Structure 1
Amino acid sequence: MTITHVDPQALLYVLSHPKESETEFHDWYNNEHGPARLCLPYFSNGYRYKANDGQTPEWLATYDIEDVNKLEEESYKQLRESRSERETRVIEQEIEILDRRMYTLVSSRGTAVPEPGSILVAVAIDVENEHEEDFDRWYEEEHIDLLSQVPGWQRTRRFKLFSATGEGTPALKHLALHDYRAHNGLDGPEHARATSTPWRTRVMNTVRASYRRTYALSYIFSPGARDLSTSPVIDSIVPSHDGTSLHYLLEGNPDPDAPTLVFSNSLMTDLRMWDALVDLIKAQFPQYRLLRYDTRGHGRSMLLPDVPADFDALADDIAALLRSIRVSKAHAVIGVSMGGVTVLNFALRHPDRLNCFVAADCNVASSPANSKAWAERVQLAEERGMSALADSTVQRWFTPSSVSTSPPALDDVRRQISETPLAGFKSGAGALSDYGLRGRLGELQVPGLFVVGAEDGALPAAMGEYVASVPTSVGLVQIPETGHLPMVEKPAVFLDAIRPFLVAQT
């Protein structure tokens, strides 16, 4: 008999059991350990299962890997050899059992898209060597065919052991993983028939050791940490679409299906610019998850060397960030200045990834005058450092009354400007010096609200002119007594201005 093989693949199979305190164990696993592996390109997916058969170890994590040899690469070795302080502590103090096995794929039949509640049946067997061919033939020619008739069956995959470490459940040579929907016929006549044939009886008489475990899917790993049920705020970094990395904060409603608001910062600020607004939203809109990030080259987000940013890359960063935390569609994406242009372009490039957008204090095309101004500011920063731009930028961005009273929010912005990496500023200034979305505004498909500080120079008039050509616009709102960053200068007034729009799009 010839078994049909598929392209080389491997399975990392990890059994674990915590000690009495489970909170940090689960937060570490869901928000650090699993995501770190999913950031590696050869890890296809990762799932966490909880046993529903009353046996221990209680927890199982599985990862499909491109090839078993990939785990010899330096990037994976580095994960295991350079553990974080928390990972070291959890492994040494919080885990009672930790068994790790590597398997190579023998065959796969059916398809499965696991979702929370899905059932996984794991059957491990050691067969006497002289009977392995009969065992393989039984599985491929009879057993899988009969299992596929069980209601709710989705997939059966067979593996052979490659390596094992740990001292818990014995690591047997043959492993079969059977995927079922949450509602299935595992207790029904079809399954009884699949496990009671004469051929199966003959094969089982040649088995030296075996065990069967059943699990329910508990969590699906992603490159980005996102499990707010174990942590009120997630502060993490994920790779983006082109190899750079993005720093983000996720907070708010812990429900993974909660509507998500995304925030994109201006040039020379970082995700901290949203602090006051986010605090208000958390207090007044507990139904939302809030995702803010540092634009590449700002804060803790990286910038690719010698690769200038443009608004296509910046828009695709939002799409990559949503993918990394398994958000198929944001409720609203909110941006200001450079972030406002990013949000507009995101809505153009990825209309299926958001319900609506809020674009604040931004234009839709560069101009010679603005490009010249950005070039002059870049030159000043190159000669004297970013702190040389702090005071003049604050005076330009905020109203005279705010500058004269100098509230703490303005000091925060000064600090963010001074701390902006020069390369990130130059990259963002380059993007703002060469872009044009005016000709594409008619292509916008999702509702958008435009907001501008009433004292933001010529922008209220400029935005009023182009907003009229946006078919999905619900209008332009001016925030009185504010300049370029109205959500910083008057966060409560800004929230009141966007509140009806956010609610209406629910």
Structure 2
Amino acid sequence: MRIAEVPMSERSELTLPDGVRLHVEAYGPADAPLTVVLAHGWCQDRRTWKHQISALRVLGARRPRVIVYDTRGHGRSGATGLGGATLGQLGDDLAEVLRRYAPTGPIVLGGHSMGGMTIMEYAHAHPGEFAQRVTGLLFVSTTAEGHTHTQYGLPARIAALMRAGETLGAGVLARSGPWRPHRAVLPALRPAVRWLLFGDDYDEDALDLAMRCFGRASLRSIGAFRSSIGAQQRLDTLTALADVPATVLVGERDRLTPPACARSIAEALPFADLRVVPGAGHMLPLERPHEVSAALTAIVERATPARRPRRARRTTSALKKAA
């Protein structure tokens, strides 16, 4: 499977209130009836959504505007300070993206992993805006309960030791500044990333892209977001969104956000459609792009406002005859 070719985008930068610059890309017509905003996961970037951006092009007149961006400290966006490396800040960043790039009209939000948690934070901190604008949700390989269900596919004792080591290492990386992982280190990390993020059947191109994204994340971002991600609890927030149509996708062999995470999200959202993808891991947008694209397309089609048919104008004489 080859990584999908993505059409040319409109690229720009958004300067946030604390001075951090976000790299933002927009696709599709500016006057589209609906806007889709996609948020990527921890240590990844906007390229995670390449297949889905391409898939939405085929909707013709109902094609949405698509906005993707690199989270602070990731991809082409600017570095973040330690104080800004929280999910709460990412929720506020998403609010700024929406105000700048989708100020009016209905919105569909999609989030992978940390991106899904970002959407939950946006809903929690900006409930009025969310209720007024959001007409559809796609949660992919994410959780609303921090590391509650994360066992890395290992026995409980070993998982606890691994989490302790991960937490300690994250603290060290958080203080390592805005530098990125050295290229020479990435090949050595590849087997661990493959085991942690991918399931039984994966494509080398997908793993290559995941590794390139990982190489663009700053050491501070790799470490500093860990604490906030592990502590988040937002099931109550999701319960308040019960009337929003949603789809929740998870890989059967996801070691980071296992199916238990997706089930709790779906239970909090009565109108959610839960799908467990057999044999798949954590990187569903790259690992199972067709399933994710189909789910997103279905949400977009359902959320797009119907175009009213044009009525032929009736002349005064015709009206008199009808009378």
Task: Assess same fold via TM > 0.5.
Answer: yes
CA distance in 2, matches of 1:242, 1:379: 23
Q: Which residue of 2 aligns with 1:261?
A: 36
CA distance in structure 1 between the aligned counterparts of 2:166 and 2:31, rounded to whole angstroms: 41
Query: Are the structure 2 counterparts of residues 372 and 365 from structure 1 closer, same or farther at C-alpha, using a change threshold of 3 Å?
Result: farther
Match of residue 433, structure 1, among 203, 221, 230: 230
More helix by share: 2
Q: Which of 142, 154, 172 matches 1:362? A: 142
Q: Which has the larger radius of gyration?
A: 1
Alpha-carbon contact 2:13-2:21 (below 8 Å) kept: yes
CA contact (8 A) 1:294 1:300 kept: yes
Greater relative contact order (Cα 8 A, min sep 6): structure 1 or 2? 2
Structure 2: segments with no counterpart, 5+ residues: 1-6, 149-159, 305-323
Structure 2 matches for 1:269-418, cutoff 5 A?
A: 269-284=44-59, 287-348=63-124, 349=126, 350-351=129-130, 352-367=132-147, 369=160, 372=164, 374-378=166-170, 387=186, 389-402=189-202, 406-418=203-215
Please state whether the residue corresponding to 2:269 is helix, strand or coil: coil
**1:442 maps to which residue?**
239
**What is the CA distance between 1:238 and its match in structure 2?**
0.8
Tell me which protein shows more strand as a share of its residues.
1
Distance in 2, matches of 1:371 and 1:504, equals 40
Cα deviation digits, residues 79-107 of structure 1 (max 9, x gap): xxxxxxxxxxxxxxxxxxxxxxxxxxxxx
Q: Which AA in structure 1 matches 2:65?
A: R
Q: Is the 8 A contact 2:252 2:276 kept in 1?
A: yes
Residue in structure 1 matched with residue 296 of structure 2 by the alignment = 498
1:111-148 deviation per Cα after TM superposition (whole angstroms, max 9, x unaligned): xxxxxxxxxxxxxxxxxxxxxxxxxxxxxxxxxxxxxx
Equivalent residue for 1:467? Answer: 266
Query: SS at the partner of 2:83?
Result: coil
TM-score by length of 1: 0.49
Aligned residues: 270
Q: Which amino acid counterpart does residue 259 of structure 2 have in structure 1?
A: P
User: 1:453: Cα distance to partner?
Assistant: 1.5
Amino acid at match of 2:197: W
Offset at 1:389?
Answer: 4.2
Distance in 2 (alpha carbons) for counterparts of 1:434 and 1:299:
24
Cα RMSD of the aligned pairs, angstroms, is 2.7
Distance 2:105 2:120 in 1: 16
Rounded to whole Å, the distance in 1 between the matches of 2:231 and 2:264 is 20
Taking structure 1 as reference, are residues 395 and 309 closer, same or farther at Cα in structure 2, changes over 3 Å only?
same
User: Equivalent of 1:423, from 203, 220, 227?
Assistant: 220
Q: Deviations over 1:171-218 (max 9, x none)?
A: xxxxxxxxxxxxxxxxxxxxxxxxxxxxxxxxxxxxxxxxxxxxxxxx
Structure 1 residues 284, 396: closer, same or farther in 2, change over 3 A?
farther
1: CA distance, partners of 2:115 / 2:246: 14
What residue is the counterpart of 1:147 in the other structure? Answer: none
Out of 233, 250, 265, the position equivalent to 1:452 is 250
